[in-house]
Every structure is written in structure tokens, then in C-alpha cells.
Amino acid sequence: MPPDTNNPPHSRAALPLAPSLDPTLSAAHMPRHFRPLELRVLWIAVLAMALGLLVALAAQALTGLIGLVTNLAFYGRWSTQFSSPAGNHLGPWVIAVPVLGGLVVGGMARWGSPAIRGHGIPEAMEQVLLNESRIAPRMTWLKPVSSAIAIGTGGPFGAEGPIIATGGALGSLLGQWLHVTADERKTLLASGAAAGMAAVFAAPISAVLLALELLLFERRARSLIPVALAAAMGTGLRYMLEGSAPMFPMPGMAVATLPALAAYMAMGMLTGVASVGVTKLTYAIEDGFEKLPIHWMWWPAIGGVVVGVVGYLMPATLGVGYNNIAAEIAGQIGMGGMLALCLMKLLSWSVALGSGTSGGTLAPLFTIGGALGGVLGLACVTWLPWLQVDPRVAALVCMAAIFAGASRAFLASVVFAFETTQQPHGLLPLLAACATAYLVSGLMMRNTIMTEKIARRGVRVPSEYAADHLERISVGDACSRQVSSLRASMRVADARAWMSSGDGNAKHQGFPVLDDDGRLLGVLTRRDLLGTQAQDGQAVAALLHRPALVVRENHSLREAADHMVEADVGRLVVLGGQDGRRVVGIITRGDLLAAHARRLREAREASRHFRPRAAGVPR
């Protein structure tokens, strides 16, 4: 009869167990059940709140530094007041200012750190994915200083990208000082980044969503809570220092009618196409700079020539341009002005970013998208008045939709536009337009403006976050119930004879050892039983020399898989019963793969119903 847990093989002459060789399950290695929160999260949350306050102060310092550089470069005055370069009276000499700024930034990148080039988020993503969220300490000052010089000398960037990168660097530095785990360091990095964005725009919820969608690559309580508290602290300090007025004030809007909502969805689709074009244009320009026969430190200065020429022709393109965004959604710019702003800002920003200077993407994309939406909205008012489109709302939804399409930070884009305008009636049009932009972008473009750079370097960036399939299946539902086991009192000689008998149940690599009541004592391998140390006359229980590796029926397959990896084994004994010591099955690597195979079969069955059929090919 094949051995199993109900009828294990036994010796004709049972041997008693020596007391010193009577193992107990108390020494067995068993995985802990997953807990969504541990007490240590309290410590990380406290650190995140302190970090949020520190990053908020850094955001204030960066804003003041940008203002100082702007005032010195364009107006020759010593002031940290945030001002626009558009009102300068330098004439043609304005072209030289971005060039000089590009020379300084290029030198800082070459002799300081090349990581300051670009807008910072892709670099932070790369450190999270490949380097356990470790960012070089010098980035905490190199990135903000270089960005302040680039933006203050007319660079068409926003302050949000540099402060997000700076906040992330501060969080990473704190995590390196305190020697926390890699996951906790990632949480601190994301907390600093979220606090930076929240402090600049007073948009805490969208800052948390941006961290979730672009940096954390997970949505777990252990990371969500510290990030949310850091964003709250950053916003609270911003309110205390600057007040709670919206970043982009907007006149009140009416509830969108159904025809208007359909029009905003169509605008979202068009903006999604535009976001793909903007992304491809930016990287095409970057590829063009790569082909230049000069060192990359000179590229920002070359890009500065374009920035300066465009700024001379249209001064509104210089600097962060937050006032342009506010004017677009307030309906203060005509169709011609918005069309010119859209095209000229796109030219200036794409060349500057492609040249590798230091700056952000969010504010320029909002300016470009808002201007595009304003043009589309005014066109609808002129030629399709029955749609009842509000040009201001059109500017708002396209402003958010272009960022949703370019970055795929869908929820962050929707909530950001709401938080920075405080217009609740804008949420529905924003949701519709950003969803269609996201759809079009996802169908047309594999990578995003955030991930294309690191994807080219071979970094695989998660794009979708789904519940762990193994976490949803219990061990009891997937394990094999047919178990070949040995009685503790069985002689080694009898066990060896059974293994050489050709019985299919004797071909396993490991066998649970049970006492007379059928409870687990330990596990023996074929090597243990066939080795030279095992004497024929011994009881098999005398060979037990290691704690059993076990798992319970109510553990998840994820917990079982982690236990296998940590112990470097391919199978675990599954325990159940009222006393928790009855062997009810064996879980193997093959059972884990079978669970994944079932998921893949279900996915193939679902996709088969929606797969396009080629002409002449039967379904």
C-alpha cells in the first residue's frame, strides 16, 4: 500500500525514540502571516513628517533662490521675490542670459554630477528600481542650485521637478544615515518628493498620487501613510508661510452639460495625441544633441541660444510661466496669443530639456496643454456653439490631460488640476479628458516622458500595479494532499528497502516523519536516509537533525514562496488539523507555477474573445 499521512509505513519491530532525539515542532521554521502594518511604521511616519517640514523649507529656499537669480540676471537687482523674466528690458541681450546659465549648469554637471541633468524624476525612478533608493548626498544641493540657475536665467521650466528631486534626495539621504531597509528608504524618498510637490503647489493629495504612480510602484499602507503625512506637513507649512489661496486662481465654472462633456472627452483624445508627439519630439531632440561632435557639457549653452531667441521674440516663454497658466484658465488670452504661446513654449522647452539642462516638466506641459485647450475651446465657441463649451474649462482639462498622457500619472493629473484651482465642478470634465488622453497615449506609446530615458538604458519600469495573484490563494487550496511519510519508529533499513522497491511514492526528495499519533516531528531527505551516517538498525527519528520547514493551510502562496526562497528549498510541509500539527499536504515550486499557469489561462481565455480576427481566418 503506498504510504501517506493516514497509513505511513512502519517497522515490524518498532524502536523506541531516545529522549534526546525527540524533536518538537516548536523549533520548526514557519513563515509569519503578512501584516499590512507593523509598529515600525510609526517610526517611519515620524521621520516622514519631519522630512516633510524640512523639504517644505527647502522648497521655500529654492523659490527664493530662483527669484534671486532671476532678479540679478534680468533686472540687476538683489531680491528673492519671485518674479517673471518677461518684463525685462534687455532687448537682444536677453539671448545671452540663458546661454550663460547653460554654461554654468553644464559645468556643474560635468564636475559636480551628471545626475543633475534633466528633470529629476526619471533619475529618482532609476535609483528606486536599481540602487535600493540610494541617491548621492551631493544631489541635495547640486540639483536645486543648478535648477535655480537654469530657471532663473530664463529656462522654460517649473520649480516642481527640481524640488521633487531634491526632496527625494533628502529622503534617501535620511534613509542612508539611519540604515533603514531598502523599502523604508524608498518610502522616505517618496515622502520627500511628495512633500516637495505639495509645498510648491499646495496640492497634497495629488502629490501623494504622483508618488504612488511614479516612485513607489506599490500601494501599501506601510508606504502610503508616511507619504501622506509628509505631504500634509509640507502643505501645512506652505499654508502658514504663504496662505491657502489656490496656486492658479480661476473664476467659478458651471456644471458641464452632456454635449460639453463629450467635447471635453474629444479634446482629451486630441491632447493625448499631442502628448505622444511632445514626448517623441523631446527625445528626438535629445538624440540630435547626442550626435553633436562636442562634449555634452556644452549642450545646455546651445539649448540656451534657442531659449534666448524664443524669449526675445516672445518673453512670456521665459521662466516658470505660472502666470501664463493662470491666465489661460482665466480666459485672459486670445486665440492667437494662446496658439503662439503653445508653439513657442513647446519649441523653447523641448530644446532646453533635450539639451540636458536642469529643470522640470510639469509646468511647461501645463502651459502647452492649457494653451492648446484654450485654442480648442475658443474654436468650439466660434464654430460649434451648441456644444456649450467653456474655453476656460477646455484650457483646464487639456492642461491636465497632456500631463496625464505624457507621464501616465492619471489620477495625479486629475486631482492636481482640482487642487490648484479649487473648482469642484471641474472634476468631471477633468476625469473624462484625462481618461481619454491616457487611453490614446497608452495605445500609441510604450514608454512615457518619465520612463523613456531609463528604458533606453535597459531599466524595466512597472507600468501597472495589480494585486499579487499568489497573495490571494491559500496554501490549502493549492497544495498536494497525497503525502508520502515515515513513522518515527521505522527502521532505517526498512525505509531504504521501501525507497528501492520502485514504489512511485518513494521517489520524492523529502519525507515528513510522524509520531504514532500522526503528528509531525520533522522532515528527512533521501540523502539523510541513504547516507553513510545512517545505520540500518536506527529509527528514522534518530536522523532528525534540523528544524522542519513548514507552512499552514491558511498561509498564502506568497508567504509560502517567500519562505521557500529564504530557506532555499523547493517544498514545504503543510500543517493543519485542530492541534496544528497534522500533516495535510505538501506545497512545491511546481504548485506555485501551477497557480500562475491558471492565471495565464484565464487571461488568455478573456483576451481570446476580444482579439481581432484576420480576414478569412475562422474564429
pLDDT for 366-382, tens place per residue? 999 999 999 999 999 99
Q: Is the pLDDT of residue 10 over 50?
A: no
Single out the residue in 181, 211, 242 at which a domain terminates.
Answer: 242
What's the rounded mean pLDDT across residues 255-275? Answer: 97
User: Are 146 and 72 in the same domain?
Assistant: yes
Backbone Cα Rg of the chain: 32
552 in any annotated domain? yes
User: Are 349 and 386 in the same domain?
Assistant: yes
In the three-class reduction of DSSP (H, G, I as helix; E, B as strand; rest coil), residue 386 is classed as helix
Q: Is the pLDDT of residue 64 over 80?
A: yes
Q: Is the pLDDT of residue 472 over 60?
A: yes
Give 610's pLDDT tier (boundaries 50, 70, 90): low
Q: Is the pLDDT of residue 408 over 80?
A: yes
Q: What is the pLDDT of residue 153?
A: 95
Give 23's pLDDT tier (boundaries 50, 70, 90): very low
What's the rounded mean pLDDT across residues 87-114? Answer: 94
User: Are 163 and 231 in the same domain?
Assistant: yes
User: Are 223 and 310 in the same domain?
Assistant: no
Q: What is the pLDDT of residue 123?
A: 78
Contacts of 434 (CB under 8 A, 6+ apart): 268, 397, 400, 401, 404, 410, 413, 414
10 in any annotated domain? no
Q: Decide which of 310 and 489 is more confident.
A: 310
Q: Is the pLDDT of residue 262 over 90?
A: yes
Q: What is the pLDDT of residue 6?
A: 43
Q: What is the pLDDT of residue 504?
A: 62
Q: Tell me, what DSSP letter sits at residue 118?
A: B
List, as one string, the DSSP characters of 518-552: SBEEEEEEHHHHHSTT--TTSBGGGG--S--BEEE
User: Which helix (H) or strand (E) covers residue 383, if one does?
Assistant: helix 362-383
Q: Decide which of 10 and 165 is more confident.
A: 165
606 in any annotated domain? no
Q: What is the pLDDT of residue 75?
A: 94
Task: Fill in the amino acid letter for 277.
Answer: G
Contacts of 609 (CB under 8 A, 6+ apart): none
The domain that holds 413 is classified in CATH as: 1.10.3080.10
Q: What is the pLDDT of residue 447?
A: 92
Q: How far apart are CA 535 and CA 481, in angstroms?
A: 31
- Cα first-last separation, the chain: 49
Task: Using the structure block, give the residue that is written with the C-alpha cell 523653447.
Answer: 348
608 in any annotated domain? no
Q: How far apart are CA 52 and CA 58, in angstroms?
A: 10
What's the rounded mean pLDDT across residues 527-531? Answer: 82
Give 13's pLDDT tier (boundaries 50, 70, 90): very low
Q: In the chain, pLDDT over 70 holds for what percent of residues?
A: 91
Q: What is the pLDDT of residue 4?
A: 44
Q: What is the pLDDT of residue 335?
A: 95
Give 2's pLDDT tier (boundaries 50, 70, 90): very low
Give 58's pLDDT tier (boundaries 50, 70, 90): very high
pTM, to two decimals: 0.83
User: Are 202 and 88 in the same domain?
Assistant: yes
What's the rounded mean pLDDT across residues 268-282? Answer: 97
Q: Is the pLDDT of residue 9 over 50?
A: no
Give 34's pLDDT tier (boundaries 50, 70, 90): low
The angle that helices 182-201 and 121-130 make with each other, rounded to 10 degrees, is 170
Q: How far apart are CA 136 and CA 147, in angstroms?
A: 17
- Separation in Å, CA 294 to CA 217, 299, 301, 546, 552: 37, 8, 12, 64, 64
- Separation in Å, CA 438 to CA 2, 229, 288, 400, 408: 59, 28, 28, 11, 6
User: Are 150 and 263 in the same domain?
Assistant: no
Mean residue pLDDT of the chain comes to: 87
Q: Is the pLDDT of residue 538 over 60?
A: yes
Task: Fill in the amino acid letter for 453.
Answer: K
The angle that helices 391-407 and 322-329 make with each other, rounded to 10 degrees, is 130
Give 33's pLDDT tier (boundaries 50, 70, 90): low
Q: How far apart are CA 488 and CA 486, in angstroms?
A: 6
Q: What is the pLDDT of residue 608?
A: 64
| All cell numbers assigned to 21 | 532525539
User: Are 315 and 423 in the same domain?
Assistant: yes
Give 20's pLDDT tier (boundaries 50, 70, 90): very low
592 in any annotated domain? yes
Task: Fill in the amino acid letter for 516.
Answer: D
User: Are 236 and 266 in the same domain?
Assistant: no
User: Are 511 and 414 in the same domain?
Assistant: no
Q: In the chain, pLDDT over 90 holds for what percent of residues?
A: 54
List, as one string, the DSSP characters of 171-239: HHHHHHHHT--HHHHHHHHHHHHHHHHHHHHS-HHHHHHHHIIIII-S--HHHHHHHHHHHHHHHHHHH
Most confident by average pLDDT, 24-28, 427-431, 553-557? 427-431
Single out the residue in 242, 266, 299 at which a domain terminates.
Answer: 242
Longest dimension (CA), the chain: 106
Give 190's pLDDT tier (boundaries 50, 70, 90): very high
Q: How far apart are CA 85 and CA 70, in angstroms?
A: 7
**What domain range includes position 161?**
40-242
User: Are 173 and 289 in the same domain?
Assistant: no
User: Are 429 and 474 in the same domain?
Assistant: no
Q: Decide which of 130 and 435 is more confident.
A: 435
Q: What is the pLDDT of residues 279-331, one digit of tens each?
A: 999 999 999 999 999 999 999 999 999 999 999 999 999 998 899 999 999 99
> Sign of the CA dihedral 15, 18, 19, 25?
negative
Q: How many domains does the chain have?
A: 3
222 in any annotated domain? yes
Give 548's pLDDT tier (boundaries 50, 70, 90): confident
Q: What is the pLDDT of residue 161?
A: 81
> 475-511: buried (b, 16+ CB within 10 Å) or exposed (e) per residue?
bbebbeeebbbbbbbbbbebbbebbeeeeebbebebb
- Could you tell me if 322 and 329 are in contact, meaning their C-beta atoms sit under 8 angstroms apart? no
395 in any annotated domain? yes
The domain that holds 491 is classified in CATH as: 3.10.580.10
Q: How far apart are CA 282 and CA 204, in angstroms?
A: 29
Q: Is the pLDDT of residue 28 over 80?
A: no
Task: Using the structure block, give the residue that is written with the C-alpha cell 529564504.
Answer: 566
What's the rounded mean pLDDT across residues 21-50? Answer: 74
250 in any annotated domain? no
Q: What is the pLDDT of residues 573-607, one digit of tens each?
A: 898 877 677 888 889 888 888 888 877 777 677 66
Q: How far apart are CA 350 and CA 365, in angstroms?
A: 10
Count of Cβ atoms closer than 10 Å to residue 187 Cβ:
32
Give 495's pLDDT tier (boundaries 50, 70, 90): confident
Closest-CA residue to 552 (of 473, 468, 474):
474
Contacts of 598 (CB under 8 A, 6+ apart): none
> Sign of the CA dihedral 60, 62, 67, 68?
positive
What's the rounded mean pLDDT across residues 346-364? Answer: 90
Q: Is the pLDDT of residue 348 over 70?
A: yes
User: Are 310 and 177 in the same domain?
Assistant: no
Q: Decide which of 415 and 37 is more confident.
A: 415
